[in-house]
Amino acid sequence: MADKVKLGIAFLLVVAGIAGFYMLSEQAAVIRLASILLGFAMATGVMWTTLQGKAFFSFSRESVAEAKRVVWPTRKETVQTTGMVLIFAVIMALFLWGVDAILLMAVNNLMGRSG
At 90-113, the pLDDT tens digits run 999 999 999 999 999 999 999 988
Domain ranges of the chain: 2-69, 72-115
Angle between helices 29-48 and 51-69 (to 10 degrees): 100
In angstroms, the Cα distances linking 31 to 20, 21, 22, 102 are 10, 8, 11, 65
What is the predicted pLDDT for the residue at 2?
86
pTM for the model: 0.53
Residue 48: name the closest of 63, 35, 58, 62 by CA.
Answer: 58
